[in-house]
Amino acid sequence: MSTLPISPAEPAWAAFAAIDWGSQNHAWSVVPAGGGPVQSGKFENTPEAVELWVAVLRRQFPGGPIAVALEQKRGAVIYMLSKYDHLVLYPVPPAMSASYRHAFAPSGAKNDAGDAALLLDLLRQHRDRLRPIWQDTPDTRLLRFLVEQRRKLVQQKVRVVQQLTDTVPQYFPQLRTWFGALDTPLVAALVSRWPTLRDLQRAHPGTLSRFFTQHHCRNERVMADGFQLIYDAISATNDEVVVEACTRNTTAFISLLKVLGEQITALEKRIAEVTAEHPDAPIFASFPGAGAATVPRLIAAFGTDRNAWQSAADLKRLSGIAPVSISSGKSTYVGIRRACPKFLRQTFHEFAGQSIPFSEWAKLYYQHHLREDKARHHLAVRALAFQWIRILYRCWKDRQPYDERIYLEAQRRRNSPLSGKLAGSTPLAWVSEAGFQKLAKQPSST
């Protein structure tokens, strides 16, 4: 499920409803579209209760669809309500509802019934600032879930590696010195068999040799002189409490890493299967630097419905790649747009960074924004992503793969300095647009 970035023509609503969801009960408010008394109440957080509430609404307002506002974009309530065709769901950003609540209740007073009433008021009065949820195709929706879940597991794995890296030096620092990375099958097998340096030093050289051979390890530093480096090592601490506590933590972290690695591999396999069958895969796979992890994320970012995005600018703003301008008095500030779907922004940011080694114009554009200042790296990548979204959008809209030669030829026809710069004959000219710089169109010489 995703939210529509544009506001389609609204239907003739039968009623407006709002739900303040909770883990046990949901508070609701409903009002007829033509006006009238507001009804309110609660129902339990069960499929049966939701079914009954929806059935009552349908009997009470049979004349058309019902708009429903709630502070949830994904979750149990959304999934339970999305199967009813006559309900149009409007997710309300929590920050928006919190600010709206504070405007009318500066004291901080809050209750479920009041929150449902505020959501209903937001829906009725400011519906033009909300975007309804629409169902994409099953394969695109599945990809969206899979790639986001993979990212969460990868981030969780990174956190576990950081915890492992913090724990090991407290009692067995030689592991990092000898083997470097700790999240490898070799280290996992070694620690499982010999949890401490003392245990490892008790092993016979022949046993160690067979172990490292079985795990395809040719660490000359460790294996030289009959593993004398291991036998000469000194324990970091003799405190048995520290050793046991750290050993147990290390064992737990390594077990977690194994499970996470297996699940990430399984997800990647399923993602590859779904991507291979998706009709838009050849389009996004044609872009420079787009690999097995990036292509499904780009498919999920754009979706399948070609009417979902009115222009590339919509996607630039929603993703947070387009900066935000803040003006007050004589001062104007252009900065990063922080209120955005972080995973979506990360998708375009990472793709832009991956394209630099594979695209001549992308590398040139990045280097211009970098200006030999490494601290500007992420700003330069966002600027490049700002340009890429327009190209991605056009190829996606036209269902055509990307061809850099065609793109550069189009730049030449428009007298862009880009083609000349790549040929080494024309200096670049730049203009500012939306806080980023773009190549300026040069006047025709004819």
- The total of structural domains in the chain comes to 3
Q: What pLDDT digit, counting tens, does each position of 261-295 carry? A: 999 999 999 999 999 999 999 999 999 999 999 99
Q: Which has the higher per-residue pLDDT, 402 or 331?
A: 402
Together in a domain, 72 and 147: no
Q: What pLDDT digit, counting tens, does each position of 397-416 carry? A: 999 999 988 888 877 777 76
Together in a domain, 388 and 426: yes
User: Mean pLDDT, the chain, as a whole number?
Assistant: 85
Together in a domain, 119 and 214: no
In a domain? residue 365: yes
Q: What is the DSSP string of 373-413?
A: -GGGHHHHHHHHHHHHHHHHHHHHHHT----HHHHHHHHHH
Confidence category of residue 422, pLDDT binned at 50, 70, 90:
low
CA 65 → CA 119, 157, 228, 363, distances in Å?
18, 44, 78, 50
Confidence category of residue 25, pLDDT binned at 50, 70, 90:
confident
> Can you tell me the distance from the alpha carbon of 195 to that of 88, in angstroms, rounded to the nearest whole number?
57
DSSP for residue 101: H
In a domain? residue 445: no
In a domain? residue 446: no
> What mean pLDDT is predicted for residues 16-24?
88
> Can you tell me the distance from the alpha carbon of 310 to that of 306, in angstroms, rounded to the nearest whole number?
9
Confidence category of residue 425, pLDDT binned at 50, 70, 90:
very low
Q: Given the structure tokens 């030689």, which residue do they identify?
A: 174
Together in a domain, 251 and 178: yes
Inform me whether the pLDDT recorded for 8 exceeds 60: no
Together in a domain, 386 and 254: no
pLDDT of residue 372: 61
In a domain? residue 444: no
pLDDT of residue 3: 52
Query: What CATH number did the domain enclosing 10 receive?
Result: 3.30.420
Percentage of residues of the chain with pLDDT beyond 90: 48
In a domain? residue 258: yes
> Can you tell me the distance from the alpha carbon of 140 to that of 120, in angstroms, rounded to the nearest whole number?
31
Per the DSSP assignment, residues forming a β-bridge with 31 are 16
pTM for the whole thing?
0.78
pLDDT of residue 376: 85
Inform me whether the pLDDT recorded for 51 exceeds 50: yes
Range of the domain at 351: 283-439
Confidence category of residue 307, pLDDT binned at 50, 70, 90:
confident
In a domain? residue 278: no
Together in a domain, 100 and 228: no
Q: What pLDDT digit, counting tens, does each position of 181-239 carry? A: 888 999 999 999 999 999 999 999 889 889 988 888 877 777 777 688 889 899 999 99
Inform me whether the pLDDT recorded for 296 exceeds 80: yes
Together in a domain, 303 and 240: no
pLDDT of residue 423: 55
> Can you tell me the distance from the alpha carbon of 89 to that of 65, in angstroms, rounded to the nearest whole number?
10
272 contacts 291 by C-beta, under 8 angstroms: no
17 contacts 69 by C-beta, under 8 angstroms: yes
Together in a domain, 287 and 426: yes
